[in-house]
Amino acid sequence: MMTPMDFLLLVRGPLFVVAVAIFMLGFGIRLVEILMLGRARNFAEPRGSAMLGGFRTVYRRFSPDPGTFERAPFDVVIGILWHVGFIVALFLFIPHVELIRKTFGIAWPALPNPMIDAIAVITLLALFAALVQRLRDPVKRFLSTPQDYLVWALTFLPLLTGYLAYHRMINPYPLILGLHILSVEIFLIVAPFTKLTHMVTAFVARWYNGATFGRKGVQS
């Protein structure tokens, strides 16, 4: 019978390697698919720089346009809160930075644990508010698919289990830590094949639009 420690060793070892491999291979295939779509050759003389236009649009799209904020301030604020919180908790938590250093050989300064703890709570509340808003709004509820709720759960669970593990709220500790790692691995495995692909393709789409308009000498 598998003990909690056996389970932790399994998810920290071979399952983690498999999850990272599927994540990288999956996104690699998706990017190759996008690049192989190609685009029609433009014979018109360029008026501006496609490269600069692309990078300019990628940068500018981080800020919501005023019209979107006026129409849906709740969605904009909640969306920014949980996206930023998720990224900060993922890349600036000390154990995560150490794991990235051991796996990929690169590292950067991390934030103090109490700060990450507070950010995790805010992110969890923001994600929960987003779910409630989706369920209460008749238009959003009608447009939502099972994948939308799956993506929400895949995003929520790593944060929740990470919070429970950090505060050792479930015993034995190896069990909740293993569940946290497993939830992250499921996220990595599923991400390339669901709407979570936007974490990569959104930048490609923004750059492509910006490059097209930059070549025409206008702003997107």
The predicted pLDDT at position 65 comes to 76
How far, in Å, CA of 122 to CA of 111, rounded?
A: 16
Tokens of 104: 């990929």
Are the C-beta atoms of residues 159 and 127 closer than 8 Å to each other?
yes
Average pLDDT over residues 148-170: 95
* Predicted confidence (pLDDT) per residue in 45-103, tens digit: 777 788 788 888 888 877 777 787 888 889 999 999 999 999 999 999 999 999 899 88
Average pLDDT over residues 11-28: 94
% of the chain beyond a pLDDT of 90: 65
Whether residue 39 is predicted with pLDDT greater than 80 in this model: the reply is no
pTM of the model: 0.86
Predicted confidence band at 220 (pLDDT cuts at 50, 70, 90)? low
Mean pLDDT value across the chain: 90
CA 40 remoteness from chain centre: 31
| Distance set, CA 16 to CA 22, 24, 60, 146, 171 (Å) | 10, 12, 35, 26, 22
